[in-house]
Structure 1
Amino acid sequence: MAVTIIGCNIIESLLLLLLSGLCCWQLESQLRGSSFMVAAFINVRQTRDIIITDAVQRIRRDGYPVEKHHVLTKDGYALTLHRIPQYNTTSTTGATACGIYSRRPVVFLLAGIYASSDAWLLNGRENSLPYLLWRQGYDIWLGNNRGNIYTRRNVWYNATEREFWNFSWHEMSIYDMPAMVDYIMQCTGEAKMHFVGISQGGTVFLVLNSMLPQYNGVFKTAHLLAPVAYVSNTKGGLAKIFGPILGTRNYVAKVLEGMEMVSTNKFVKKFLSSLCFENERPMVCVSRLWPAVGYDTQHLNKTLLPDIMANFPVGGSFKQIMHYFQGYVSTKFRQYDYGPEKNWLMYNQLEPPDYKLELVTAPVTIFYAENDYIVSVEDIWRLLMRLRNLQAVYKIPRRRWNHFDFICGLGVREFIFDKIIRAANYYEYTYS
């Protein structure tokens, strides 16, 4: 939603307060109308480390090559892909519209809800998964779904229109993912790739391969970090409070379907992140993330808080989280519920159809945690029982490991990233 969008009702305000923190909601409206606050912000920032909110700038600063690519979906959304390529500077072999490259195996990474490419880069030049994979010789592609800071254009609608925001992760799965995957294959000349998705990134992968099973053959390996499918046992406060309201068909849900969920105002995010440096106690800062990622943050790398606050959340629709709320209420993993009348028109049945997870035949590895605030162990096991080509299941060996720790936790390289790299290397050495 964000204060920058039209209107502001009680449900909207409460959701934004819970997700982004009270200070963020109050601060944005104050900053826009107060030159004093703007001046204060500039003075504060001059004395602090640089906070980066652009993936290209971050990757360059970290000393890696980077390209930005654009792809258009069938329903008109212009998506941005960030690439960390393996350049071939000594030969023109492999020259295409995508540049001069050295043919290397591809890894495609997709972040979670209301996140972007930047989420994969927050651990710095030595420990971020894209950089670790690049140093192993992989061609890295970072995806961005519609609605985040890099993908706010559509051929027919602009971001101030309700039609622009009338999407959930279902549309991301059947439009965004095919567009990005097809583009990467065309650009690199590679017929297959490795995939890594976290949270909603896992949701999108599962829906893609169940709805368009021909894509199963595209993936050499798929590593899903805390994938969100079934959510009926979630510990998330947002689902428990708002699920019964926004997970059913009613007037409020219909109004919110065409609205943005969270702010993408970089100025506000930089100000908030600047408050997370040494002059503020870490727990005061991390508490702003609690409603979205969980209250147990023992393993979160708190030195990353300024970057986390500057790069999460970065935009998306209300319909995304409402689709999860519907799963919480129905206890099913199924398509969006528009009510009996529209369901009949869209699906030829009164209730939305379940996703056929048995059609997901790509080789999948799952990482989960006992203490995950969003994805419970019970819901993970419901998912596992329906997957036909499960390669491995890893339970994080930390009792208090939480949802955000899958990408920014202390020990994430040892528990997750190194295992992903070993699996990808094993495939390349065995089958190539």
Structure 2
Amino acid sequence: MWLKLCLMLVFFAIPLCHSDSVMNMIQAERYPAEKHTLFTKDGYILTVYRIPNMSASKYNRKVVLFMHGMTSSCPAFLTFGRHTSAAYKMSDAGYDVWLLCARGTTYSRRHIRMDPKDPKFWDFSWHEIGVYDIPAAIDYVLDHTNQTKLTYIGHSQGVTAFYVTLSELPEYNDKITIAHLMTPPVILKHNHPMVPRSMDGVHAVAAWFRNNGIYEVLSHSGATMDIITAVSQFCMRPTGRDVCRSFVYILFGPSNLYFDELLATILNHIPGGASYKQFIHYAQIAAAQRFQRYHHGIEKNMQIYGTPEPPEYDLSKVRANIHIMHGTNDWLTPSDNVPILANAMGRYPVAISKFPGYNHIDFAYGSNLDMVHRKIFKVQKLFY
């Protein structure tokens, strides 16, 4: 009887009956926690976690939706506990907090028809996250909280996909009070030497993935986790710490991460899994120097788009209040790209905040998150 009740609740998209590691994280910090299930228009079943604020009137409730970056997942905003992580700080400030786990990640690996073992399950990039996942979450959260607008906080891919949402579905601009967008990989010019410059090379890499039957990458299971465990153990050693820091610097820029204290905690949830097409789509917009839809090849582009090249996302349709946050040491999304992005929008952002010395992942896992949070709250005061 209890099992039947749980199954009914799952399929009617209300809080689930059992807890998991994310629920345990939140409850261990003595916050109330809920786990919700929602469905996208293309059939993916997503998990969204909630730290509810029941003290405010249901008609005057401040709501915030968090969205993580690629290969990460919603625990990114919970990892360091109540005194350091953004989700808890927003809850302490009186917000009703929601954390979305994008399709394909550890906590959103379901579909109404397909299994993750099916290659078709992984036939998506961050475009689909932008046109399906984020709109579904916004609508679900607003409906559940009886509100008309919410605050959005996104990191990395959570920014890219959000720009897709607002440009492809411009009516969602009206559902955003303010969006705090950290490290925006949208305009990929002036980039790291490792970022590809040749579209032919990108297509060759995509073909290699398909020909070898690799559709999911960096999942939080199997051989990947064996490697992650070994890396974690190596990085915690005095002799390995500097090597690991150097590797992070090469990928993301110089940083000061929590290697000593919380690396093992971070790696409990990262990597969270992704489709190979998410990586390929980023490589494409870097090579093309255009913020555009997925490049399937000329023949398939003609079938899907009616043009040999993918259409660009129309950033002039982005009219929500935007707060861009970027670091001067970010090698994936260099500071020089930020004014280009601002000029491409229909209006200038509400604010552009520069963080000296921060790299791409410092906004989620750095040693000075408090400065980031103070800036968010300072901008929030303009709207609440």
- TM-score over 0.5 for the pair: yes
Q: In 2, are the aligned partners of 1:336 and 1:352 still within 8 Å (CA)? A: yes
Cα 1:211–1:189 shift into 2, 3 Å? same
Aligned to 2:70: 113
* Greater Cα offset, 309-318 or 276-285: 276-285
Q: In 2, are the aligned partners of 1:72 and 1:78 still within 8 Å (CA)? A: yes
SS at match of 1:311: coil
Are residues 1:159 and 2:116 paired?
A: yes
Aligned to 2:281: 323
SS at match of 1:151: coil
Structure 2 distance, partners of 1:300, 1:250, is 32
Cα distance, 1:422 vs. partner?
Answer: 2.4
SS at match of 1:338: coil
SS at match of 1:427: coil
Are residues 1:282 and 2:238 paired?
A: no
The structure 1 residue matched to 2:182, chosen from 221, 225, 229, is 225
Structure 1 distance, partners of 2:136, 2:323, is 24
SS at match of 1:232: coil
Q: In 1, are the aligned partners of 2:234 and 2:240 still within 8 Å (CA)? A: no
Stretches of structure 2 that go unaligned for 5 or more consecutive residues are 1-19
Structure 2 distance, partners of 1:140, 1:112, is 18
Aligned to 1:259: 215
- Superposed, which structure 2 residues align to 1:329-408 within 5 Å? 329-387=287-345, 388-398=347-357, 401-408=358-365
* Greater Cα offset, 127-136 or 225-234: 225-234
Cα distance, 1:278 vs. partner?
Answer: 6.3
Give me the identity figure in percent: 32
The structure 2 residue matched to 1:62, chosen from 29, 46, 66, is 29
Q: In 2, are the aligned partners of 1:207 and 1:355 still within 8 Å (CA)? A: yes
Q: In 2, are the aligned partners of 1:192 and 1:218 still within 8 Å (CA)? A: yes
Stretches of structure 1 that go unaligned for 5 or more consecutive residues are 1-52, 95-101
Cα distance, 1:309 vs. partner?
Answer: 2.3
Cα distance, 1:408 vs. partner?
Answer: 1.8
Structure 2 distance, partners of 1:261, 1:119, is 19
Aligned to 1:128: 85
Return the TM-score normalized by structure 1. 0.77
Aligned to 1:76: 43
Cα distance, 1:289 vs. partner?
Answer: 4.4
Cα 1:292–1:70 shift into 2, 3 Å? farther
- Superposed, which structure 2 residues align to 1:146-185 within 5 Å? 146-185=103-142
Cα distance, 1:363 vs. partner?
Answer: 0.4
Structure 2 distance, partners of 1:278, 1:210, is 46
Q: In 1, are the aligned partners of 2:62 and 2:96 still within 8 Å (CA)? A: yes
Q: Which has the higher contact order (CA 8 A, sep 6+)?
A: 1
Cα distance, 1:305 vs. partner?
Answer: 1.4
Structure 2 distance, partners of 1:257, 1:364, is 40
- Superposed, which structure 2 residues align to 1:26-41 within 5 Å? none
Cα distance, 1:54 vs. partner?
Answer: 2.4
Aligned to 2:369: 412
Return the TM-score normalized by structure 2. 0.86
SS at match of 2:381: helix
Cα 1:243–1:55 shift into 2, 3 Å? farther
Aligned to 1:25: none
Structure 2 distance, partners of 1:270, 1:151, is 23
Cα distance, 1:155 vs. partner?
Answer: 1.2
Structure 1 distance, partners of 2:267, 2:61, is 34
Structure 1 distance, partners of 2:90, 2:327, is 23
Structure 1 distance, partners of 2:212, 2:130, is 21
Structure 1 distance, partners of 2:285, 2:212, is 17
* Greater Cα offset, 137-146 or 250-259: 250-259
Cα distance, 1:300 vs. partner?
Answer: 2.0
Are residues 1:425 and 2:378 paired?
A: no
Aligned to 1:306: 264
Cα distance, 1:103 vs. partner?
Answer: 5.3
Q: Deviations over 1:283-321 (max 9, x none)?
A: 344456456534x23x22332211222222110100001
Q: Which amino acid aligns with 2:356?
A: P
Structure 1 distance, partners of 2:237, 2:27, is 26
Structure 2 distance, partners of 1:250, 1:149, is 23
Q: Deviations over 1:33-90 (max 9, x none)?
A: xxxxxxxxxxxxxxxxxxxx9221111112211110000111111000011101359x
Q: Deviations over 1:325-373 (max 9, x none)?
A: 0011111100001111111111111110000000000000111122202
Q: In 1, are the aligned partners of 2:105 and 2:219 still within 8 Å (CA)? A: no
* Greater Cα offset, 70-79 or 379-388: 379-388
Cα distance, 1:178 vs. partner?
Answer: 1.0
Q: In 1, are the aligned partners of 2:209 and 2:215 still within 8 Å (CA)? A: no
The structure 2 residue matched to 1:293, chosen from 252, 258, 265, is 252
Cα 1:156–1:163 shift into 2, 3 Å? same
Structure 1 distance, partners of 2:63, 2:213, is 35
The structure 1 residue matched to 2:147, chosen from 190, 206, 227, is 190
Cα 1:235–1:256 shift into 2, 3 Å? farther
Cα 1:284–1:124 shift into 2, 3 Å? farther
Aligned to 1:31: none
Structure 1 distance, partners of 2:122, 2:275, is 6
Q: In 2, are the aligned partners of 1:304 and 1:408 still within 8 Å (CA)? A: no
Cα distance, 1:125 vs. partner?
Answer: 1.4
Q: In 1, are the aligned partners of 2:234 and 2:241 still within 8 Å (CA)? A: no
Paired residues, number:
360
Cα distance, 1:411 vs. partner?
Answer: 2.1
Aligned to 2:13: none
Root-mean-square deviation (CA), in Å?
2.5
Cα distance, 1:241 vs. partner?
Answer: 8.9
SS at match of 2:148: coil
Q: Which amino acid aligns with 1:210?
A: S
